Amino acid sequence: MERIRIGPEQRLFVLTGAGVSAESGLKTFRDQDGLWEGSRVEDVATPEAWARDAARVWRFYSQRRREARKAEPNAAHRALADMEQALGERFFLCTQNVDDLHERAGSRRLVHMHGELFASRCEFSGAGMGAFACSRGPFQDDSLYETEAAIARCACGGRIRPHIVWFGEMPLKMNRIEREIAQSTTMLVVGTSGAVYPAANFVHWAGAHVRRIYIGPEEPGNADAFSEIVLGKAGEVLPGLVDVD
């Protein structure tokens, strides 16, 4: 496809999903028969799963920590870091991914709306805890927890949980994301099936004047909302795609 020109008054908003890490060897979710790394989502990625069997949840995320440690950023992550270098504050990246491959490629102006694999927090911290909330925030953590007894405890007595937005929980940093979308003139959505909300709606939040481009090997569920669809792998399409004025 021809290069996308970003003029001096223009701003680029990028949304990435699991597909951007596929070429690094990390599996995407929805192409696995409803299973996610051999587990049902309801057994490992919901508040109910945590209440029922926290050790099982931690075994799942411990395994994902192991896999992410072994993975390396690919050409797509690097291309997005290059775009940020060229655009500075006119660039913003929102990822649904919890791996740290964007950071390791050099991205800095990014938010993880679904949390971070290498961070943990007290189970009583965060939104929805009311007056009983624990004030300890998320912290960097690459430990592996395999049994209930091994799960670390907060000073308040709560168990340490993954800093991940599970199904049924509120995505993070939504105010910042909405602000960035409102200011953008080009939106690039890469490697996401367009099935999980609110991220699947971002393309609708962009104004009609915004150029809305999807990149991935197959059409996403919300394909109709884009002004352009580029079928191809992120690592092949993204390098050199953006032309900055």
- Kindly list the catalytic residues: 114
Rule CB under 6 A: is residue 126 a binding residue for ligand APR? no
Rule CB under 6 A: is residue 17 a binding residue for ligand APR? yes
Q: How far is the CB of 30 from ligand APR (least distance, A)?
A: 4
Which residues neighbour 43 within 8 Å (Cβ) at sequence distance 6 or greater?
49, 53, 56
Interface residue with ligand APR, options 75, 111, 196, 225 (CB under 6 A) = 196
Rule CB under 6 A: is residue 46 a binding residue for ligand APR? no
Which residues neighbour 157 within 8 Å (Cβ) at sequence distance 6 or greater?
none
Rule CB under 6 A: is residue 78 a binding residue for ligand APR? no
Amino acid symbol at 240: G
- Residues near ligand APR (CB under 6 A), total: 22
Query: How far is residue 26 from each of residues 15, 55, 64, 117, measured CA to CA in Å?
Result: 18, 23, 9, 13
Which residues neighbour 150 within 8 Å (Cβ) at sequence distance 6 or greater?
55, 58
Binding to ligand APR (CB under 6 A) within 210-239 occurs at: 216-218, 220, 233-234
By beta carbon distance, the residue nearest ligand APR is: 19
CA 164 from chain centre, in angstroms, equals 10
In the complex, which residues of this chain contact ligand APR (CB under 6 A)?
17-19, 22-23, 28-30, 96, 114, 190-193, 195-196, 216-218, 220, 233-234
